[in-house]
A and B are shown apart, each in its own frame.
Chain A
Amino acid sequence: MNQQSITKPYEKAVVEVKNLSVFFNQNEAVKKVNLSIPINKVTAIIGPSGCGKSTLLRSINRMHDFEPIARLEGNIFLEGEDILLKSVDAVSLRRKIGMVFQKPNPFPKTIYENILWGPKINGFKINEDELVEQSLRQAAIWDEVKGRLFDSAISLSGGQQQRLCIARTIAMKPKVILMDEPCSALDPRSTGRIEDLILELKNEYTIVIVTHNMQQAARISDYTAFFYDGELIEYGNTSKIFTTPVLKQTEDYISGRFG
């Protein structure tokens, strides 16, 4: 067991991870992790490649349901309800927990349909035009696409596609948005736009973002969790983690000495 330094945020937790372990066959990718995700804040997850960041993130919206070799132990509470219980319907859970992926993955449909697909299949009562405009505006892409809503989403640039995917996620009005390296496939300009967007979004949503970019974590997050080899090593205020980390391991990673 590595040394740990975990400071619980004082804000109310939306998601509460308790003693979570994730196994792929015998390989323990996430090891007894305890983590509180505070409401309306941006929480960054950092750590070297393969340390279990994506695995942890994907536990929160039950994406491991599709991986037969994955096994989860422990609990994850969403507003007090344990979402890992078999009795919890993963489909309706995912309405409340949106996810943005590393590679933009718009559907091969029009921009308009991309936004509406989620709300429609879930039977939300919506005003279509209004929801499309509102979601695209919130995702800071409205001005670029308002004249071509019925073009295929595939025709957009990578950065635009990613913002469309964010728009599609917020059209569901989730409680939490999970982002797994959402900028890693984008140029600096697009990255900047998405960072601004994340800062806007946290007024309404709780955001958990995995990133390899230390500056990005420092710029946009309120709390930072540093993982190493499946374990949560240090967790606390972003400004504290980046200026005066408690543990040497964290400091080494942040200053780029390993990982």
Chain B
Amino acid sequence: MERRWQRRSPVLFDWLRKNLSTQAQTMPLYIRIKEKIIVFFLAASSFVSVFITALIIYILFSESAGFFKKVPLGDFLFGTRWSPLLEPASYGVLPLINGTFLVTAGALIIALPVGLLTAIYLSEYASNKTRQFLKPVLEILSGIPTVVYGYFALTFITPILQTIIPITEVFNAASASIVVGIMTLPIITSLSDDALQTVPRSLREGAYALGATRFEVSTQIVLISALPRVGASVILAVSRAIGETMAVTLAAGATPKMTANIFESVQTMTAYIVEVSLGDTPQGTIGYQTSFAVGLLLFIITLTLNFMAQRLLYKKKH
């Protein structure tokens, strides 16, 4: 048994040896076997998720490979017209990226100031009681199904926008931005609040002792000290906004275009993937493969962002 483990998975074997054998030596045999079986199942379940992730990545790459055999990478990345399903076909992904970043930027304009101010309020101003009330309320925001947000944007926010700004189209980036902003708010607030809380009390006291107001201490000392972690929370929120699908599909529309006007309909990368998945594009065709190419791009972008956030979070303090 042990030898097979060792051959198949040296890492797991080492781990088993380090964590079990020292105390296990003195235990009766049947307990040692039982322990090993338990560990086997624990490890096996964690391998399931690793395996599934690997599988998804494999499919993303292999299906995209089919696409990139037909369309040069440069045409895909830098082309400004996206029309894969209608003739004349064109595979420039920039309009989708434009749509995604338009919605994300709009979301950030809302979520960043509101999220940061809420985090500062929670961490530096609110009494323990208020805090214990507000934090769970924020968590609820992130528990609302995203389709509800999409519906809310379409049937509530868009009509309001249309009354204020008549040029607003039925599908528009603005209403999507607003709900995505609300959806990412808990990420920024909660993680930034945690970040502010890690700033030692002694630093705050040092600042107060110099005749600083609470606002000066919060914004110029506490926030600055926690900046790397706050930055990480913002990056994670951006990553979440970029990956957001349901709300933007419902609210922002399905018109890939290079526009900076948030009151027009656009299409995001995620919304395009939904369109292909729901449509009747036959498997194996280039139209079908486009969604994997877009998916791969999306995956690389969010992975990079998450990686950056991790770097900020675990950066060694000098």
Contacts and interface: CB of A to CB of B under 8 A. Distances in A.
B127 interface: yes
Contacts of B212: 91, 94, 118, 121
Contact of B205 (A63, A122, A152): A63
Contacts of B213: 91, 121
B206 A165 contact: yes
Nearest to B227: A108
Contacts of A154: 318
Interface stretch (B8-16, B65-73, B216-224): B216-224
Interface string A82-106: 0000000001111100110101011
B197 interface: no
B221 A107 contact: yes
Contact of B209 (A98, A103, A108, A122): A98
A99 B210 CA distance: 8
B203 A169 contact: no
Contacts of A106: 206
A155 B211 contact: no
B202 A105 contact: yes
Given A68-B127, A103-B202, A107-B203, A121 B209 contact: no
B164 to A, nearest CB: 39
Given A108-B225, A109-B224, A121-B216, A169 B202 contact: no
Contacts of B51: none
A163 B111 CA distance: 41
B67 to A, nearest CB: 48
A105 B203 contact: yes
A94 B202 contact: no
Contact of A169 (B210, B221, B225): B210
Nearest to A117: B210
A66 interface: yes
A75 interface: no
A94 B127 contact: no
A63 B210 contact: no
A172 interface: yes
A61 interface: yes
Contacts of A31: none
A121 B211 contact: yes
A99 B207 CA distance: 10
B208 interface: yes
B207 A107 contact: yes
A168 interface: yes
A193 B203 CA distance: 24
B203 A92 contact: no
A44 B318 CA distance: 35
Contacts of A92: 211
A147 B224 CA distance: 25
B211 A94 contact: yes
B167 to A, nearest CB: 45
Interface in A107-123: 107-109, 117-118, 121-122
B214 to A, nearest CB: 9
B211 to A, nearest CB: 4
Interface in A42-98: 61, 63, 66, 68, 91-95, 98
Interface string A16-29: 00000000000000
B127 A98 contact: no
Contacts of A93: 211
A118 B210 contact: yes
B220 A94 contact: no
Contacts of A66: 205, 208
B205 A105 contact: yes
Contacts of A107: 203, 206-207, 221, 224-225
Contacts of A94: 208-212
A106 B207 CA distance: 9
Contacts of A121: 210-213, 216, 220
A94 B202 CA distance: 16
A103 B203 CA distance: 10
B175 to A, nearest CB: 40
A205 to B, nearest CB: 14
A67 B272 CA distance: 54
A228 to B, nearest CB: 26
Nearest to B127: A68
Contacts of B203: 105, 107
17 contacts: A61-B209, A91-B211, A93-B211, A94-B211, A94-B212, A95-B211, A98-B209, A98-B210, A103-B202, A105-B203, A106-B206, A108-B225, A118-B210, A121-B210, A122-B211, A152-B318, A169-B209
Interface of B: 127, 200, 202-203, 205-213, 216, 220-221, 224-225, 318
Given A103-B202, A121-B212, A172-B211, 12 more contacts: A63-B208, A66-B205, A91-B213, A93-B211, A94-B209, A94-B212, A99-B205, A105-B200, A108-B224, A118-B211, A121-B213, A152-B318
Interface of A: 61, 63, 66, 68, 91-95, 98-99, 101, 103, 105-109, 117-118, 121-122, 152, 154-155, 165, 168-169, 172
Shortest 5 CB-CB distances between A and B: which pairs?
A: A118-B210, A95-B211, A99-B209, A105-B206, A94-B211
